[in-house]
Structure 1
Amino acid sequence: MACHYRAGRQRGFTLIELILVIILLGVLSMTAASRLIGRSSFDAYLARDQAVSLARQIQLRAMSNQTPQGTLDPCLSLRVQSNHFGPATCAATTYSGRALITSADGVTIGGTIQGDIQFDLLGRPYQLDSHGSKTLLCVTGCQITFISRNTQSASLCINREGYIHACS
């Protein structure tokens, strides 16, 4: 007795079809999960990454726009407050730039430094005291922490030489 198989009839799926279905389900589930999780779990990290970019941009502008005597346009300073991270208020008309963090973004700012941070020709951070003299900042390092609605935090660090980077 011989077994007869009919050519051309398949039962089941090929390996390629199964792999494609698994990949498509993975993509769909990741998209759905990101919608369900919401953006608040990423807010602190996004704010920190944007803040690093903005702080470096302000630092570069300050380094290239000073007079030989070292005087700086006050609009080229970085304002750090609990509800604001970005250029000084006057910078909206003088230099284009958007403040990254406001109270509407749902991220609060804390850390070892507050106020207007200026940068000298070498990129080092300083503040002006009440007498107008420069006080170097971040001698032991400064840390600015961004805290999202769900209390996750991410930090930005500035060292005494002006290196701005993401830190833990």
Structure 2
Amino acid sequence: MTFQKSQGFTLVELIVVIILLAIVSVYAASRYIGIGSFSAFAIQENAISVIRQVQLTRMQSNSDVTAGLNDLTLQISADCIGSTLACSERSEMSSNWISDDNVVFSSSVPQVQFDLLGNPNITSPLEITISDKTGASSTSVTICPNGLVSSSGCL
């Protein structure tokens, strides 16, 4: 009885390699499709962080007066969220502001001041809408009257 030495790959090996390549290509394609419409969601967590940072800065200030203290007031404009001072200077060394050319911020209140306990000067929940300029995606951040800053609204 003689055995022939096989040359090449078996059908099972070829199918396994094709399936693995398909999985990798689907994963890679999903990373590139819709990358422009993802900006609003990507910036949402950064906006929450910046709002909380301005809130904590106010709580740690130990000052009863907020007039003239632009680093303790939250500013919400179409192209910037952060302390009034940081949004006007836009220094890369400062971390208490966020701006992105691909998104627009909108709110019914342009400025929010926090008291020493972190409570904002609002009586109802304030929703800040974050939309990308193409209109493909939109999300929001809510500031509650009790000081909670959340992406899921007030509890």
Same fold by TM (over 0.5)? yes
Deviation of 1:52 (Å): 0.6
1:149 is aligned to 2:145:
no
State how 1:13-24 maps to structure 2 within 5 Å. Answer: 13-14=12-13, 18=16, 21-24=18-21
Unmatched segments (≥5 aa) in structure 2: none
Letter in structure 2 aligned against 1:149? K
Letter in structure 1 aligned against 2:53? Q
| Conserved 8 A contact 1:113-1:143 | no
For residue 28 of structure 2, the aligned residue among 10, 26, 31 is: 31
Structure-2 separation of matches of 1:158 and 1:167: 10
Q: Secondary structure at the match of 2:151?
A: strand
Paired residues, number? 145
| TM-score (normalised: structure 2) | 0.75
Q: Considering only aligned residues, what root-mean-square deviation do their CA atoms show, in Å?
A: 2.9
Q: Secondary structure at the match of 1:51?
A: helix
Cα distance change, pair 13–156 in 1 and its aligned pair in 2 (3 A): same
Unmatched segments (≥5 aa) in structure 1: 127-136
CA offset digits 1:53-72 (Å, max 9, x no partner): 111111112111223xx234
1:162 is aligned to 2:147:
yes
Letter in structure 1 aligned against 2:70? P
For residue 101 of structure 1, the aligned residue among 94, 99, 102 is: 99
Q: Secondary structure at the match of 2:12?
A: coil
Look at both structures and tell me which one has the larger radius of gyration over its CA atoms.
Answer: 1
Q: Secondary structure at the match of 1:57?
A: helix
Cα distance change, pair 7–64 in 1 and its aligned pair in 2 (3 A): farther
> Who is 2:50 aligned against?
54
| TM-score (normalised: structure 1) | 0.70
> Who is 1:129 aligned against?
none
